[in-house]
Amino acid sequence: MKLGTAAAATLLTVSTQFVPSPPVLAADGPGPGPRGDGPGCDLFPAPASVGTTIGLSYFGPPPLDPTQVGPVQLLRSGQVDVVKGTVTLPLYKGYLKNNKTPVWYILTDTNDQAQAAFLGLNFSAKLTYASNGARTAQFDQNNDLVFDAGEVDFSPARQVVPGPSDHPFPPQSAQAGSVGDRNYSPLVKVTNAGGIVFNAPIIAFGVDESEIHFPDGNVDYTKVHDAVVAIDPQRQTVTLQLVNGFSFGRALMYISLDVNDPVVAAVEGATYAPLLKNIPTGRDDSFTSPVERLFAALNGPQDCANPQRQGLFAALTDGHRPNNTFGGIPTIANDYSPLWDVNLYEWTPAAIDQRYRSQLREEFQILTLVQNGFLTGPGGSPFGSSGVIVNCPPVQRLF
């Protein structure tokens, strides 16, 4: 498997090196949540009353302008539980064309601004340019979505075996817990509704209501997405675990749903979505680009007890998420897309020797460190797109 630049392709190829009795740091289900286990694995901000002589109840509400101080819920179609680190969203049922196979999906984003406002979704103008990586569908006489193609197999057992302790990524072996066929993408273009594009990830496929009725948890992950915490098809809701990240210095929580690379899909607990490989990368905010950049550290600081913790080495060492840094999200920039073009970076030996290695929370901070020679691509290669796309809609900006 080769992705992006030659060095990035080498990095993202599953290692064949023997590692004696390696730990397995993945299993079916969402894994550790975004709250708890130390400051390096819980980015939730302290209350504004810290260091004052008054309680939090004395403080006024956040500003009405959502571009200023948060918290701000971005994906407004669901209920966020900040204590548990989850979001409960509407669960929709559609069908696959010809055989009427049930398709259970959610909606997170659209390229239609009016529909985004009406449905409480994230608006992304860039999805207009994502048609070559989208499956197609039509509304039937009942206004149910009927998909032309795209299936997902949720039966595989998710497994990730890290590489050597000093270089755990790429993993020695990896298996995604849900695998789409060659026609699967989370994106859908509705051909009899003006060509509107929705981000509509499949949560369950080919099963009836009774087979995925887990309103109180204890989910059967051979039938649903690994991000699911609870699912209730009778009430038409699904609860998904959130993930920590940053955008322009602001902590946020998002959902990790699909990836165009099987190894990264396994690490992320996401669905492998082959059709997303048709999406062009490396062009960021230029005309016709459907993506926005995500910055992922390789060899950042490790250990949940370390407030500077960040990166894929850390994630494969402790099992928590890597605290990635995103480009523009709604309320911060108008160049947002849920299709994140992964830019991998590695701290140089000189930067580590000078103790510059730290948690990076802002795009241009990272780009400046690249320009100054403290960060490179994997193995000292030129910095840039890895060719990996992750579908990660932001749900809530924490401040």
Q: Residues 129-170: pLDDT tens digits?
A: 999 999 999 999 999 999 999 999 999 999 999 999 999 999
Residues of the chain above pLDDT 70, percent: 94
DSSP string, 301-319: ---TT-TT--SHHHHHHHS
Number of domains the chain is built from: 1
Q: Which residues contact 57 (CB under 8 A, 6 or more apart)?
A: none
Question: Do β-strands 145-147 and 92-96 pair in parallel, antiparallel, or remain unpaired?
Answer: parallel
Using 50 as the pLDDT threshold, list the residues of the chain that sit under it.
1-8, 10, 15-21
Amino acid 20: pLDDT = 44
Are 399 and 247 within 8 A, CB to CB? Answer: no
- Work out the number of other CB atoms within 10 angstroms of the CB of residue 57: 6
**Is 265 a domain residue?**
yes
**Is 52 a domain residue?**
no
CA distances from 341 to 34, 61, 183, 308, 338 (A): 22, 35, 20, 24, 9
Amino acid 18: pLDDT = 40
Cis peptide before 63 (omega within 30 of 0): no
Q: Residue 179 is part of which domain span? A: 6-16+67-397
Amino acid 47: pLDDT = 87
The Cα–Cα gap between 174 and 160 comes to 4
**Is 61 a domain residue?**
no
**Is 289 a domain residue?**
yes
**Is 291 a domain residue?**
yes
CA distances from 49 to 71, 279, 399 (A): 15, 46, 14
Q: Residues 199-222: pLDDT tens digits?
A: 999 999 999 999 999 999 999 999
Torsion angle defined by CA atoms of residues 363, 366, 372 and 375, in that order, rounded to the nearest 10 degrees: -150
Q: What angle do CA 331, 333, 334 make, to 5 degrees?
A: 100
Amino acid 14: pLDDT = 54
**Is 54 a domain residue?**
no
**Is 42 a domain residue?**
no
**Is 179 a domain residue?**
yes
Question: Do β-strands 178-180 and 187-190 pair in parallel, antiparallel, or remain unpaired?
Answer: unpaired
Which residue carries 């949940």 as its tokens? Answer: 304
Residue 158 is encoded by which pair of tokens?
A: 């998710």
Instruction: Please choose, from the candidates 317, 158, 273, the residue with its C-alpha nearest in 3D space to the C-alpha of residue 226.
Output: 158
